[in-house]
Amino acid sequence: MIDVFMNTYHRLPVTFAKGEGTWLFDINGKKYLDFSSGIAVNCLGHAYPPLVRAIAEQAAKFSHVCNYYQSDVSAAFAEKLVEACAAGGMKKLFLANSGAEANEGACKIARKYSLKKYGPGRHRIVSLRGSFHGRTITTLSATGQEKFHRDFGPFTEGFSFIPGGDIEALDKALDQSAVAGLLIEAVQGESGIIPQTQEYIEAAARLCAERDILLMFDEIQCGMGRTGTFLAFEQYRLADGRPLKADIVTLAKGLCGGVPAGAVLAGEKVMDVFESGDHGSTFGGNPLAAAAGLVILKTVSDPAFLREISQKGERIISTIKSWNHAKIENIRGRGLMLGIDIKADAWPILEAAINRAGSGRPGLLLLSAGPKTLRLLPPYTISGAEIDEGLHILKDILNG
């Protein structure tokens, strides 16, 4: 077969043709239990009937109008999304198509806010080592991982990185005269499922507030209910116990359950920074995505549903801990965003989990996050029996 794709992905040897709930089927009819959700995208599983209906019904009306006009479905989606993020302090939003694009919007808001209030030179955005914020030149500039910084320079200036968890380094880096914003994942995804500590987030919120530096949460992977609260940072508190409010929140991945979409949301302080003509996106707020997003929001903002996400995560953690498996060093995470450090390379495990499929036996779709960490991001709709079946496969594979 002639491969016309550019060689950007290290692909596993499988081509999918169909999905249903937590299951995917390849072109040869082999089946796979999906513990990856397309990297936290298909949060309600594959071909979720209400989602399929909503997209089909919208496609039969219209699938796009340009942003010179408003559409009923995009307006309804925007309103519900702001409502779902209200506890985190969000008041207005801009709709985009991807995570990188949402983070670009966040950086633009931070820079303009600072420029208008303090004049030029106070444009730096601080982020964490190990962070991942996207693949465009600017979002790579914000990504604190050396391996992404080869070959593509010069990068956008005005970004710097600090080690996570180090409050002294944070205090030093948040220079009031140079820094516009702090961009942070409450639970880092790509670098191995690393939740920030309460002390660290508390300090970040305090220092940002004292210095008028924007507190920006990249919830692209950990948001949309993934950790058991609608936004992952809702699990942190201010020093006095009050809930934390962000200045900016970015979302994408699970936002529309598999239809491409991103959003940058803003709190009171920065919600009117963008003026007419400042920003835009042809596909942003696309009606098909919005119709899908309304289904996701309706399900995922229900507190009982969010509690189930946490309980399912706890079931996975307690099962894996009960194995006392010699190859497992550690399991951590929140809700259905879990990292397992193993005493082996992760990639061969991913391959073995795929290759196991055949003769009626299912395969298992796993992710890695770093060379020796397995990452589990199952759909929220996964059943207890499916969790047990997937973990049984995982144990089998670890046993070699």
Ligand X SMILES: *Cc1c(COP(=O)(O)O)cnc(C)c1O
Interface ranges with ligand X (CB under 6 A): 98-100, 103, 132-134, 185, 189-190, 218, 220-221, 252-253
Specify burial of residue 364 (Cβ count, 10 A radius: 0-12, 13-18, 19+).
buried
The pair of structure tokens assigned to 212 is 């008028």
Question: Is the CB of 173 or the CB of 184 nearer to ligand X?
Answer: 184
Q: Is 343 helix (H, G, I), strand (E, B) or coil?
A: coil
Residue 245 corresponds to which tokens in the numbers above? Answer: 């409010």
| Inter-residue contact 350 to 369 (CB < 8 Å) | no
Alpha-carbon separation of residue 206 from 173, 240, 246 (angstroms):
14, 11, 11
CB of 396 to ligand X, least distance (A): 29
What is the closest distance, in whole angstroms, from the C-beta atom of residue 139 to ligand X in the complex? 7
- Classify 189 as helix, strand or coil: coil
Query: How would you write 194-242 as a 3-class SS string?
Result: EECCHHHHHHHHHHHHHHCCEEEEECCCCCCCCCCCCCHHHHCECCCCC
Taking the complex as a whole, how short is the minimal distance between the CB of residue 325 and ligand X, in angstroms?
28
Residue nearest ligand X (C-beta atom): 99
Considering the complex, what minimum distance in angstroms separates the CB of residue 309 from ligand X?
Answer: 18
**Smaller CB distance to ligand X: residue 218 or 247?**
218
- Least spacing, CB of residue 222 vs ligand X, in Å: 7
Nearer to ligand X, 42 or 328 (CB): 42
Q: What angle do CA 130, 317, 349 make, to 5 degrees?
A: 65
- Tell how strand 124-128 and strand 159-162 pair up: parallel
The answer to whether 42 and 379 have CB atoms below 8 angstroms apart is: yes
Compare residues 221 and 229 and give the one whose CB is closer to ligand X: 221
- DSSP string of 113-159, one letter each residue: HHHHHH-TT--EEEEEBT----SSHHHHHT-B-GGGSSSSPSPPSSE
DSSP string for residues in 255-281? GGBTB--EEEEEETTTTT-S-TTS---
339 vs 363, which CB is nearer to ligand X?
339
Q: Which is nearer to ligand X, 21 or 284 (CB)?
A: 284
Between the two ends of the chain, the Cα-to-Cα distance in Å is: 32
Q: How far is the CB of 100 from ligand X (least distance, A)?
A: 3
Residues whose CB is less than 8 angstroms from the CB of residue 393 and which lie 6 or more positions away in sequence, other chains included:
33, 353, 356, 362, 363, 364
Give least dist CB 250 to ligand X, A: 7
Closest contact distance (angstroms) between CB of 289 and ligand X is: 13
Residue 127's DSSP bridge partners are 161, 183
Output 103 or 138, the one with its CB closest to ligand X: 103
CB 396 within 8 A of CB 56: no
Sheet hosting strand 328-334, strand order edge to edge: 328-334, 337-342, 373-376, 367-368
* Minimum CB distance to ligand X smaller for 26 or for 143: 143
Residue placing its CB nearer to ligand X in the complex, 220 or 264:
220
Q: CB of 177: closest distance to ligand X in angstroms?
A: 28
Between 55 and 102, CB nearer to ligand X: 102
Please report how close the Cβ of residue 235 comes to ligand X at its closest, in angstroms. 16
